Amino acid sequence: MFDFTGKTVLITGASGALGTTLTARFSEAGANTVTAARTGYDQLAAQLHGPSLGVPLDVTSESDWTDAIHQTEARFGPLDILINNAAYLRVGTVESIPLDEFQRVLDTNLTGALLGIRAAAPSMRAAGGGAIVNINSVAGLAAAPDLVAYSSSKWALRGLMRAAAKGLARDNIRVNSVHPGIIETPLAYGPDGNALVPVDDFAIPRNATPDEIAHFILFAASDQARFATGSELIADGGFTLGPLT
C-alpha cells in the first residue's frame, strides 16, 4: 500500500508496542528505518529486514537528538520522516498528580517533540522537504480528568504541531498529528490491570490494534498525504462521539 523506498524515517519510542509495529511496517515498505529509544534500539534494528540503524535517544535530551540526527545522516543521508512517538503516562488528577511527575510527562510528550522537530528540520531542509508526524491521543481532544498530566501534554502538542506546520511550510516540511483511540498496549491499563478507559459503550467497542493505528501514521507520513499539513487525523473508533447509551 505504501512505498517508502529510498526514504529515511526516524521513529522515537521505537521499543514500545506501537513503536515496534511502526518500525516493522516502515521497513516492510522499503524505508531506511532508524529505531530510536532509551533501550532495545540495537536489537530492534537487527530484527528488521531492510536497511536499519539503532540509536540511543532520550527525547528530553538536546544532545541525544543532535547525536541521533548525526548518526542518521552519516548512515543514510538527510532525514525524510520523523515520527514523534515516544510518550510517558502517569495517572493522576489535578490534586493528586505529583508535581515532578507532571513535569516528567510534559518533558517527554511535549518538550521531546519540540526538540525532535528542532533537530530534524535542518536535515529535512537539506533533503528538500520532509514529513513530521506527532503521535497525539484522544486525550488531546477530550477531557481526561484522571490523566491530567498526559491530557495537558497532548493538548499542548496540538498547538506545537500547528505552529511548526506553519513555520516550516515554506521549507516543504509537512507537520501533522494522528490521534489514536485506546490502543491494545500496556499503556491502556493501570497498575491493577484494569482498563484506564473502558470502551464497551462506544461506537466500536474495543481497543485498536497497533497495526490499525500504524496504517494511519504511515499514511500521514506518505506522499499520499502530501496536501495535508497542520492536520489532525483521528482514529478513535468513535470515542470522541461519546457513549452510545
DSSP per-residue string spanning 66-83: HHHHHHHHHHHSS--EEE
* Residue 214, helix vs strand vs coil: helix
| CATH number assigned to the domain with residue range 8-241, chosen from the 4 options 3.40.50.720, 3.40.140.10, 3.40.50.150, 1.10.3720.10 | 3.40.50.720
pLDDT higher than threshold 90 for residue 51: yes
Q: Single out the catalytic residue among 41, 88, 150, 189.
A: 150
- In this prediction, residue 194 carries a pLDDT of 86
pLDDT recorded at residue 185:
85
Mean pLDDT of the chain, nearest integer: 96
**Whole-prediction pTM:** 0.96
For strand 173-180 and strand 52-56, is the pairing parallel, antiparallel, or unpaired?
Answer: unpaired
pLDDT of residue 188: 83
> What residues contact residue 84 under an 8 Å CB cut-off, 6+ apart?
12, 59, 112, 113, 116, 117, 132, 133, 134, 135
pLDDT of residue 190: 78
Average the pLDDT over 214-240 and give the result: 97
Q: What is the pLDDT of residue 169?
A: 98
Say which residues have a Cβ less than 8 Å from residue 148's Cβ, sequence separation at least 6.
Answer: 92, 93, 94, 97, 102
How many beta carbons lie within 10 A of that of residue 168, not counting itself? Answer: 21
Q: Is the pLDDT of residue 1 over 90?
A: no
Confidence of residue 197 (pLDDT cuts 50, 70, 90): confident
Tens digit of pLDDT for each residue in 119-175?
Answer: 999 999 999 999 999 999 999 999 889 999 999 999 999 999 999 999 999 999 999
> Catalytic site residue 150?
yes
> All 3 cell numbers of residue 108?
517527554
